[in-house]
């Protein structure tokens, strides 16, 4: 078979739809502008291998929309000094909203992911779907109100939700930890409320997109981003594109079996990574240890109310030198490392990024994850990827949701429309 089907598809595109190729050219120019601080038209032509006339036409289009601007004359290399161009990250703004199991975070960012307005609110997911939606709207309204001076430059709104999503229909299909939450047409609901184009993505994938565009994944084509909090999910970027899998089901790293005889997972299986290394598993292990009377700072942090122990408190005790807490974080790190080693063997990513509440346990966790991956990944032929924390911290999924808007703006075919519906050569 070979890839003849692929080739004929591309030939067909070339013959029938030069508009898409123009969009690809615009993307190539934008990529250079985003990566290089200040650049001349001739430099862009050299880097992109486009003709000077094409570059000139695309730059005018980008300048008309404000995405590019001239910054003055650069160094002469013999002839007339060139006019330098730079990317203008304040040409448009992006809104992102993250629905978590215990909180909502909304942000407005510029085109470099710099947060200009944010709101964080605790959430009780047991109050029902209507109440959750009205809290989401409320937090979003407050965030937009704080960004009033840029509000008319917001290009769209992205939503990050846990669980399964249907990106094409804008539906949050199922969220395992939110009772009664199924088949919610959430993008449509936000479009009706806010009149922006809206998109929805799974939280781990939103995080991966945000890290790829603005954070620890910038400059890498193959990224494994692992979100470790109440559950464990992964966002996978392959050759610069988000990998969603059949019906958006990819990335369920938390339900990879680590120990076939291990503890029962909420999904019904035994020994899933999530049941051994996510926040509730760390808290449960701590509660078991503290109730056997082990001497630990964890007990003091909850005033003896051991049912109030959380993974965050275990992290806090670990960072203060508590040996039991450190042992629990190291144990979670070892299981996480086993899961990540399996994923690294499968994907061979350029970088592994870990975010989510549990990742804030810091070096104690990361050192164990790195040591375990080093020990268990098959590294005879390739170097191990760096394993780094998320650059966005607690806002990783909300900034990622905002990045989703940029991803959609830049998608081939959307770009001409976004920057004014005009065509470049
Ligand atoms: Zn499971």
The DSSP secondary structure of 353-421, one letter per residue, reads EEESGGGGGTHHHHHHHHHHHHHHS--SSSPPPPEEE-SSGGGHHHHHHHHHHHHHHHSTTTHHHHTTS
Side by side, the strands of the sheet bearing 351-355 are: 241-243, 232-238, 223-228, 351-355, 387-389
CB-based contact 396:215 (threshold 8 Å) = yes
pLDDT for 23 equals 77
336: CA distance to ligand 1 center in Å? 14
Ligand 1 geometric centre to CA of 184 (Å) = 23
What is the arrangement of strands in the sheet containing 93-99, beginning at the earlier edge strand? 115-122, 103-110, 93-99, 154-161, 198-202
278 CA → ligand 1 middle, Å = 11
Cα distance from N-terminal residue to C-terminal residue, the chain: 35
Which positions of the chain have pLDDT values less than 70?
Answer: 1-20, 380-382, 412-425
> Taking CA 208 as the corner, what is the angle to CA 202 and CA 211, rounded to the nearest 5 degrees?
140
* Cα(268) to centroid(ligand 1), Å: 6
- From the list 194, 169, 198, the residue with the least C-alpha distance to 183 is 169
Using the mean position of ligand 1's atoms as its centre, give its distance from the Cα of residue 232 in Å. Answer: 10
- Where do we find the tokens 């291998």? 49
CA of 269 to the centre of ligand 1 (A): 5
CA torsion sign for 174, 179, 183, 186 is negative
Fold of the domain spanning 93-213+396-410: Nucleotidyltransferase; domain 5 (3.30.420)
State in Å: Cα 102 to ligand 1 middle.
20
- The two structure tokens encoding residue 107: 């942000």
CA of 243 to the centre of ligand 1 (A): 21
CA 184, 188, 194 angle in degrees (round to 5)? 125
User: What single-letter DSSP state applies at residue 244?
Assistant: -
CATH of 4-88, one of 3.10.105.10, 1.10.260.40, 1.10.10.10, 3.90.180.10: 1.10.10.10
Query: CB atoms < 10 A from the CB of 348, how many?
Result: 16
Ligand 1 centroid–CA 170 distance in Å is: 25
Q: Architecture of domain 217-390 in CATH?
A: 2-Layer Sandwich (3.30)
Residue 223: how many other CB atoms lie within 10 Å: 27
pLDDT at 380: 63
Distance of CA 62 to the CA centre of its chain: 26
Where does 123-251 show beta strands of DSSP type E?
A: 154-161, 164-166, 171-174, 182-184, 198-202, 223-228, 232-238, 241-243
Domain spans of the chain, in order of start: 4-88, 93-213+396-410, 217-390
- Give the pLDDT confidence score for residue 408 in this predicted structure: 86
Contact 74, 119 (CB under 8 A): no
Find out whether 105 and 398 touch, Cβ atoms under 8 Å: yes
| Structural tokens at position 183 | 């088949």
The beta strands (E) that lie in 149-301 are given as 154-161, 164-166, 171-174, 182-184, 198-202, 223-228, 232-238, 241-243
Same topology for domains 4-88 and 93-213+396-410, yes or no?
Answer: no
**C-alpha distances out from residue 312 to 103, 269, 298, 359, Å:** 15, 26, 10, 10
Whether 420 and 65 have beta carbons less than 8 Å apart is answered as: yes
From the list 219, 213, 247, 248, the residue with the least C-alpha distance to 234 is: 248
For residue 422, how far is its CA from the centre of ligand 1 (angstroms)? Answer: 49
Contact 96, 405 (CB under 8 A): yes
Q: What is the spatial distance between Cα 349 and Cα 235, in angstroms, rounded to a whole number?
A: 12
3-class DSSP assignment, residue 161? strand
| Residue 240, burial from CB neighbour count under 10 angstroms (0-12, 13-18, 19+) | exposed
């Amino acid at each position: 078979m070979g890839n003849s089907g692929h080739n004929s598809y591309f030939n067909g595109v070339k013959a029938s739809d030069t508009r898409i190729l123009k969009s690809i050219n615009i993307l190539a120019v934008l990529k250079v502008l985003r990566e290089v601080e200040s650049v001349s038209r001739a430099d862009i032509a050299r880097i992109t291998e486009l003709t000077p006339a094409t570059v000139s036409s695309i730059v005018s289009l980008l300048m008309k929309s404000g995405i590019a601007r001239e910054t003055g004359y650069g160094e002469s290399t013999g002839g007339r000094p060139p006019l330098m161009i730079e990317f203008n990250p304040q040409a448009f703004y992006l809104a992102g909203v993250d629905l978590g199991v215990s909180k909502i975070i909304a942000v407005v960012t510029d085109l470099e992911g710099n947060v200009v307005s944010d709101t964080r609110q605790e959430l009780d997911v047991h109050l029902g779907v209507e109440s959750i939606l009205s809290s989401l709207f409320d937090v979003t309204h407050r965030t937009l109100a704080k960004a009033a001076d840029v509000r008319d430059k917001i290009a769209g709104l992205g939503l990050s939700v846990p669980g399964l999503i249907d990106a094409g229909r804008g539906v949050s299909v199922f969220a395992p930890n939110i009772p009664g939450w199924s088949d919610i047409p959430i993008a449509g609901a936000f479009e009706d409320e806010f009149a922006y184009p809206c998109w929805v993505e799974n939280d781990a994938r939103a995080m991966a997109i945000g890290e790829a565009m603005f954070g620890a994944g910038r400059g890498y084509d193959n990224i494994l981003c692992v979100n470790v909090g109440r559950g464990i999910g992964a966002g996978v970027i392959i050759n610069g594109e988000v990998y969603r899998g059949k019906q958006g089901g990819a990335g369920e790293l938390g339900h990879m079996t680590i120990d076939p005889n291990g503890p029962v997972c909420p999904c019904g299986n035994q020994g899933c990574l999530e049941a051994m290394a996510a926040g509730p598993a760390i808290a449960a292990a701590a509660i078991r240890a503290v109730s056997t009377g082990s001497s630990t700072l964890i007990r003091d942090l909850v005033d003896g109310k051991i049912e109030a122990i959380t993974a965050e408190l275990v992290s806090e005790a670990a960072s203060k030198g508590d040996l039991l807490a450190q042992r629990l974080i190291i144990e979670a790190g070892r299981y996480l490392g086993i899961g990540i080693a399996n994923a690294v063997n499968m994907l061979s990513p350029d970088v592994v990024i870990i975010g989510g509440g549990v990742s804030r346990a810091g070096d104690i966790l990361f050192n164990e994850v790195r040591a375990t991956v080093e020990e268990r990944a098959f590294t005879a032929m390739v170097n191990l990827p760096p394993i780094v924390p998320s650059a966005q911290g607690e806002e990783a999924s909300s900034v990622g949701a905002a990045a989703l808007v940029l991803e959609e703006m830049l998608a081939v075919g959307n770009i001409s429309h976004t920057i004014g519906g005009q065509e470049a050569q």
